[in-house]
Amino acid sequence: MCELKLQGAAWENYNWNTIRLKMVKCRLKVGFIILASGMLLALVTEILAKERYNITKQPIIVIDPGHGGHSSGVQGPTGVLEKTVTLALAQTLARRLETDYRIKISRTDDYDLALTGRTAIANRSQAALFISLHTGGSFLHQTNGVTVFYFDRKEKEAPFSEPTSDGLFTDNPARPHWKTIQKRHLIDSKILAFTLQHHFEAVRPDAKIRVQRAPLTVLMGANMPAVLIEVGYLSNPVEEKKLLNPEYLLNIAASIEKGINEFFSKKIWHP
| pLDDT tens-digit series, residues 109-159 | 999 999 999 999 999 999 999 999 999 998 888 889 999 999 987 644 444
Paired strand residues for 129: 61
Q: Specify whether the CB–CB gap between 221 and 151 falls below 8 A.
A: no
Q: What type of residue sits at position 238?
A: V
What is the residue extent of each domain of the chain? 13-51, 59-266
The residue-averaged pLDDT of 47-71 equals 75
The 10 Å CB-count burial string (b at 16+, else e) for 130-152 is bbbbbbbbeeebeebbbbbbbbb
Question: Can you give the pLDDT at residue 170?
Answer: 45
Question: Can you give the pLDDT at residue 266?
Answer: 83
Q: Does residue 181 register a pLDDT over 60?
A: yes
**pLDDT bracket for residue 32 (50, 70, 90):** low
**pLDDT bracket for residue 180 (50, 70, 90):** confident
Question: Can you give the pLDDT at residue 96?
Answer: 97
CATH of 59-266 given 3.40.50.10680, 3.40.50.300, 3.90.600.10, 3.40.630.40: 3.40.630.40
The answer to whether the predicted template modeling score (pTM) of the entire model surpasses 0.75 is no
